[in-house]
C-alpha cells in the first residue's frame, strides 16, 4: 500500500477518547472538550486568567511583554497536562491534529493565523530534538497553518536546561541569547506579522526571549500561541 493510502486508512479507523475512553471517538471526544475546554477571560498579552472585562493583568500593565498578543486554548491542568506530556515525551505526534482543532476553536486564534505573514514554531536544541525525536511545536504549527509554517527562520543557538526544572529567575536567565534569526533572512522579518507557536507557556521566558529577537529584527506584530497556559507564573 502507498504511504498516503495507509495514512487515510488509519485516519478512517475508529479510535478511543484519551480522556474518558469513549469508543468510538476522536483523540479527545466532543463531550470532554465541552467539559474541560470552556473559554475563560485571559490577559491579552500573557494569557494568564483574569476577571471578566479585564484586558491585561497587572504585571503586563506595569511591564509590557514583547508579545503584542498571547493566546491559549486551555489551562495547563487535567486532562490537558497529561495529554501534552504524552504528546511530547511518549511519541504521540499524531495527537497534534486534536490540539490544533482545540486551538482553532479558541477565541481569536483563527484571525491571528489568517493575519500572520509566517507561523514560527519554537525551535528545539539539537540535543533535545535528537532525544525527543520530533519538535512538538513544529508538528503543531504545521497542523495549524501548513502553508505559512517556517521552521528555519527562528533558530535556537544555545541549549538550555528544561524550563520545568528551574525557578522563574533561572528561567529568564537561562534563555538569554538562546535564539537568533537566520542572518540571511533578516529582511523577511522586517514589518512581518508573526505567530510564535509552542505547546505550553509557564513563565513565558522562552516565548518572550524569542519575541525580543524577532522584535529587534523589525517584526511589526507578534502573537504567542500555545495549547495550554499555567494559571500562575511559577
Give 204's Cβ-side CA count (13 Å radius): 25
Q: Residue 167's pLDDT is what?
A: 61
Angle (nearest 5°) at CA 233 between 228 and 234 = 110
> Which pLDDT score is estimated for 3?
40
pLDDT at 201: 96
Beta-carbon contacts of 189 under 8 Å, excluding residues fewer than 6 positions away, are 153, 181, 214, 217, 218, 219
- pLDDT tens column, 115-162: 999 999 999 988 888 888 999 999 999 999 999 999 999 999 987 666
- Grid coordinates in use for 92? 504521540
Give the per-residue pLDDT at 161: 62
Domains and CATH numbers, the chain: 1-36 (no CATH), 40-229 (3.40.50)
Which pLDDT belongs to residue 15? 77
HSE-CB for 138 with a 13 A CA cutoff: 14
Query: Is the pLDDT score of 1 beyond 70?
Result: no
The pLDDT score that the predictor gives to residue 168 is 56
The pLDDT score that the predictor gives to residue 213 is: 97
Amino acid at each position: 500500500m502507498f504511504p498516503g493510502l495507509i495514512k487515510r486508512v488509519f485516519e478512517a479507523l475508529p479510535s478511543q477518547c484519551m480522556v474518558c475512553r469513549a469508543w468510538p471517538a476522536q483523540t479527545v471526544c466532543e463531550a470532554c472538550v465541552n467539559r474541560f475546554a470552556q473559554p475563560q477571560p485571559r490577559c491579552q498579552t500573557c494569557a494568564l486568567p483574569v476577571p471578566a472585562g479585564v484586558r491585561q493583568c497587572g504585571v503586563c500593565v506595569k511591564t509590557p511583554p514583547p508579545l503584542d498578543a498571547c493566546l491559549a486554548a486551555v489551562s495547563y491542568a487535567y486532562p490537558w497536562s497529561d495529554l501534552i506530556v504524552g504528546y511530547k515525551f511518549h511519541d504521540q505526534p499524531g495527537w497534534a491534529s486534536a490540539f490544533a482543532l482545540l486551538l482553532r476553536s479558541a477565541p481569536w486564534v483563527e484571525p491571528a493565523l489568517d493575519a500572520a505573514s509566517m507561523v514560527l514554531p519554537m525551535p528545539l536544541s539539537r540535543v533535545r530534538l535528537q532525544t525527543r525525536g520530533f519538535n512538538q511545536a513544529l508538528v503543531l504549527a504545521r497542523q495549524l497553518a501548513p502553508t505559512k509554517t517556517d521552521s528555519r527562520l527562528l533558530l535556537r543557538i544555545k541549549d538550555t536546561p528544561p524550563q520545568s526544572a528551574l525557578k522563574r529567575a533561572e528561567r529568564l536567565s537561562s534563555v538569554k541569547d538562546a535564539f537568533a534569526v537566520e542572518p540571511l533572512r533578516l529582511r523577511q522579518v522586517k514589518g512581518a506579522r508573526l505567530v510564535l507557536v509552542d505547546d505550553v507557556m509557564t513563565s513565558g521566558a522562552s516565548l518572550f526571549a524569542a519575541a525580543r529577537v524577532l522584535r529587534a529584527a523589525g517584526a511589526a506584530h507578534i502573537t504567542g500561541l500555545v495549547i495550554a497556559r499555567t494559571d500562575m507564573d511559577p
